[in-house]
Amino acid sequence: MIRLFHVLVLVFVAVAGLTSLSAAAQTPDDVLTALKTEAKASTTGFQGFSAQRGERFFKQTHGNELSCASCHTENPAASGKHAKTAKIIKPLAPASNPERFTDSAKVEKWFKRNCNDVLDRVCTPQEKGDVLTYLLTVKS
């Protein structure tokens, strides 16, 4: 019984791994394009993303103690530090860290977690797109 469960978990994980492998071959622009499609569908009168709005959103608090910058610092090209555990966080700006925004599953995972911590809710496609547009303007 336990063995069968283990095998099933392994198969599930292998399939999930393969699917995420195919999803991993992305660029930040692909992620931005997908966010734009989502934003168009969900925001009435969508007028595109704004780096300025993204920067404001990134640096301000939203009713909670933490902002994005609390851990990622005011300079997304630099390394950050986890507000609680002090673990080093690699730079968020793709110019400094080419691994960023190249895996949509990972992008979704972290937006969900971090928006919940910072805003107590998920972020809208508009907010995510604004932030990514801002991060893409940051030079290393």
The footprint of other proteins (CB under 8 A) covers 6, 9, 12-13, 16, 82, 84-87, 105, 109, 112-114, 116-117
Q: Which residue has the tokens 């080419």?
A: 98
Nearest approach in angstroms of CB 114 to other proteins is 8
Which run of H or of E encompasses 81? strand 80-81
Considering the complex, state which of residue 40 and residue 109 has its C-beta at the smaller distance from other proteins: 109
Closest CA to 112 of 103, 123, 127: 123
The whole-angstrom separation of Cα 56 and Cα 52 is 6
- Give the shortest CB-50-to-other proteins separation in angstroms: 26
The smaller minimum CB distance to other proteins, of residues 13 and 24, is found at 13
**Rounded to an integer, what distance in angstroms lies between the CA atom of residue 114 and that of residue 68?**
8
Least Cβ distance, residue 84 to other proteins (angstroms): 6
